[in-house]
DNA sequence: ACAATAGGCAAGCATCCACTTGCCTATCAA
DNA sequence: TTGATAGGCAAGTGGATGCTTGCCTATTGT
């Protein structure tokens, strides 16, 4: 459960800085729990993004280390689930500055 | 007033990707309408950020082109005002995906 | 066992980005 | 007018970053 009390890794902002990673989040909002290959094919077909499998894999790694997605293995499949908790924090930093800010 | 209907420039995310620029936003939340030199000195004294004036100036340019700050000249002074409107959009993209998304 | 599928690791590369340095313009005070 | 203050422009540089390529491991089906 990992209560994540307080600090938001600055990785969250860097993770969101890339348009492809934002597309991936869009994709997971629309359909959660996809595998790497599913995300690959959907990015190619729907958004005409001609990216290699490794490119997407690296993006997913960035998103995971930023806490924006969570993964679970199942046999040879690895499913990716969206994690919206870090998103709720990052903007309250400037919109509701009354709350104690321990961000970086 | 510039109703900004629809699209959020992807610059907003890139603008937020840098920790120094986030510090600047913090600084403007705390005290709006500062000049370049004020921001410089406060970043140095309060956060021990040893950055040149040009560095801050360039950061301010990025924030402005992202729509996160607005500037007004007055004599030889240039005041920087926070603009929170783009911030409200970026997170609703994934938190409230019901709204029509025209983001990039 | 063997091939196919799903994914991982690591080196290499080209581009981008933050920062510096040096010099220039504009406004104000004496 | 002269000097000081506030800010701008542009070239250069080192490090980060996104992407590719090549090869490797693990699981599944026949």
CA Rg value for chain A: 15
Task: Mark yes or no for CB contact A97/B29 under 8 Å.
Answer: yes
pLDDT at residue A54 greater than cutoff 80:
yes
**Model confidence over B21-78: pLDDT tens digits?**
999 999 999 999 999 999 999 999 888 888 999 999 999 999 999 999 999 999 999 9
**Mean pLDDT score, A79-95:** 90
Q: What is the pLDDT, as a whole number, of residue A1?
A: 44
| Tally of CB atoms within 10 A around A78 | 15
Task: Mark yes or no for CB contact A22/B97 under 8 Å.
Answer: no
CATH of domain A11-89: 1.10.10.10
- Would you list the domain boundaries of chain A? 11-89
A57-61, B64-68, B95-99: least confident range? B95-99
Q: Which nucleotide is nearest to B77 (CA to C1')?
A: D6
Q: Which of A87, A95, A104 sits opposite B88 (nearest CB)?
A: A95
Residue B34 gets the label, from left (phi > 0), alpha (psi -120 to 50) or beta, of: beta
**4-33 on B, CB < 7 Å from strand C:** 14, 17-18, 20
In this complex, the answer to whether residue A72 has its CB under 7 A from any atom of chain C, a nucleic strand, is no
**Mean pLDDT score, A68-94:** 93
**Alpha-carbon gap, residue A2 to B78, rounded angstroms:** 45
CATH of domain B11-94: 1.10.10.10
Higher pLDDT, B95 or B30: B30
Cα B59-A21-B26 angle, rounded to 5 deg = 30
């Amino acid at each position: 459960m990992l209560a994540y009390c307080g600090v938001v890794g600055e990785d969250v902002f860097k993770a969101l800085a890339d348009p492809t990673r934002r597309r991936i989040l869009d994709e997971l909002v629309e359909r959660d729990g996809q595998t790497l290959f599913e995300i690959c094919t959907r990015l190619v077909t729907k958004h005409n993004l001609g990216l290699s499998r490794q490119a997407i894999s690296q993006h997913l790694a960035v998103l995971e280390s930023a806490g924006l997605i969570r993964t679970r293995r199942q046999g040879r499949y690895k499913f990716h689930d969206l994690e919206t908790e870090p998103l709720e924090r990052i903007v309250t930093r400037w919109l509701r500055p009354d709350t104690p800010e321990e961000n970086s």
